[in-house]
Chains A and B, each alone.
Chain A
């Protein structure tokens, strides 16, 4: 069975400071890893993914994430946070043979304060 953990329910950051939202996963075989963002009253928007290749993945809105196989982590990062980044962030994993099913973490609410 595959699983995702987001250990922080909420992350508070001052605008302009770097941010990190943590994610660890458990899966059999090679993982496909994803980050999604959900703004109030909206669906999920895709941010970035890791399939293979370079461990540092760049995505939308200046976000990036680093795949670390030894630590089974896929933390989301941004060098300089914006107030408009405040939203709910979900990490998700899928493994080959899992029927394309995504397993989501519990979500982390990011609050960026001016």
Chain B
């Protein structure tokens, strides 16, 4: 199983600022995923990040708002840009290979004030 370290675990940010969330995996993985979990809601996929190519964004998410980097096979970052209170959520990174289960980081709880 993959071990995923995600940081920061939580942050309180001022509106209009940006926050970069880091995700480190203890093994090389092809695909990494970023999810958002709004308060009391389920998980929604933001984007899929493959090493060496542009991230693929789901409907409703755009690169200008959620830029993603994937510099190598063990690391990715998600930036939440120009934040507003509506961005207050838990953000989770995830990896899976083949048909195995997906593994998740502990999540970043973001509060925008």
A104 to B42, CA, bound (A): 7
Size band of the interface chain A makes with B = 20 to 34
Name the residue on A nearest B6 (C-beta): A43
B57 at the interface (CB under 8 A from A): no
With contacts A100-B96, A101-B33, A101-B48 taken as known, whether A90 is within 8 angstroms of B42 at the C-beta atoms is: yes
A51 at the interface (CB under 8 A from B): yes
Name the residue on B nearest A42 (C-beta): B106
Chain B residues with Cβ below 8 Å from A32 are 99
Q: Are B42 and A49 in contact, with the CB atoms below 8 A? A: no
Q: Are A104 and B43 in contact, with the CB atoms below 8 A? A: yes
Q: Are B102 and A34 in contact, with the CB atoms below 8 A? A: yes
A26 to B43, CA, bound (A): 17
Chain B residues with Cβ below 8 Å from A96 are 99
Q: Are B106 and A43 in contact, with the CB atoms below 8 A? A: yes
Which residues of A in the span 13-71 have a Cβ within 8 Å of any Cβ on B? 32, 34, 36, 41-46, 49, 51
Chain A residues with Cβ below 8 Å from B33 are 100-102
Name the residue on A nearest B10 (C-beta): A41
Which residues of B in the span 41-59 have a Cβ within 8 Å of any Cβ on A? 41-43, 45, 48
With contacts A101-B45, A104-B42, A107-B42 taken as known, whether A46 is within 8 angstroms of B99 at the C-beta atoms is: no
Residues of A within 8 A of B (CB): 32, 34, 36, 41-46, 49, 51, 90, 92, 94, 96, 99-102, 104-107
8 closest pairs, A vs B, by CB? A43-B106, A44-B104, A43-B104, A43-B107, A104-B43, A46-B101, A106-B42, A104-B42
